[in-house]
Amino acid sequence: MIRVELPQHLRTLAKINGEVRVEVDGEVTPRTVLDALEAAYPMLCGTIREYGSGERRAFLRFFAGEEDYSHLGMDVRLPEAVARGEEPLLVVGAVAGG
């Protein structure tokens, strides 16, 4: 069981309260987690990674185990604590203000 924490706008879109939990078979990477997430919540397709390229959208970040996984590619292994469900993968929106 993988835990994923989404930004508030995406929780509202997917009608989710709190963390999401998804099952991932095999290696736990951003790609496999997002594949499982989008299969469970199709309305999230295109909101975290781009259609076509499959790349992370520019204003989002992936944090896990207090490390930034945003620039390590979609196929990097996430920490064991995330794979074991002890910690969530955080999908975080870039801050903006005025």
Partner 1 sequence: MSGVRLLVGTRKGAFVLTADGKRADWKVDGPFFAGWECYHVKGSPVDPQRLYCSQSSSWFGQLMQRSDDGGKTWNPAGNKFAYDGIAGTHQWYDGTPHPWEFKRVWHVEPSLTDPDTVFAGVEDAAMFKSTDGGANWAELGGLRTHATAAGWMPGAGGMCLHTILLDPVNPERMYVAISAAGAFRTDDGGVTWKPINKGLKSLHIPVADAEVGHCVHRLAIHKSKPDTVFMQKHWDVMRTDNAGDQWTEVSGNLPTDFGFVIDVHAHEPETIFVVPIKSDGEHFPLDGQLRVYRSKTGGNEWEAMTKGLPQENCFVNVLRDAMCVDQMDECGVYFGTTGGQVYGSADGGESWKAIVRDLPAVLSVEVQTLA
Helices of type H across 1-98: 8-14, 30-40, 80-83
The answer to whether 85 contacts partner 1 (rule: CB under 8 A) is no
Q: Which stretch binds partner 1 (CB under 8 A): 26-34, 53-61, 69-77, 82-90?
A: 53-61
In the complex, least distance from residue 27 CB atom to partner 1, rounded to whole angstroms = 26
Closest to partner 1 by CB, 32 or 47:
47
C-alpha to C-alpha distances, 91 to 61, 85, 98, nearest whole angstrom: 6, 15, 23
Spatial distance between the Cα atoms of 63 and 49, rounded to a whole number of angstroms: 15
Q: Would you count residue 10 as binding partner 1 (CB under 8 A)?
A: yes
Buried b (16+ CB within 10 A) or exposed e, 58-79: eebbbbbeeeebbeeebeeebb
Binding mask 21-50 for partner 1 (x = CB under 8 A): ----------------------x-xxxx-x
What residue ranges bind partner 1 (CB under 8 A)? Answer: 7, 9-10, 13, 43, 45-48, 50-52, 57, 59-60, 93-94, 96
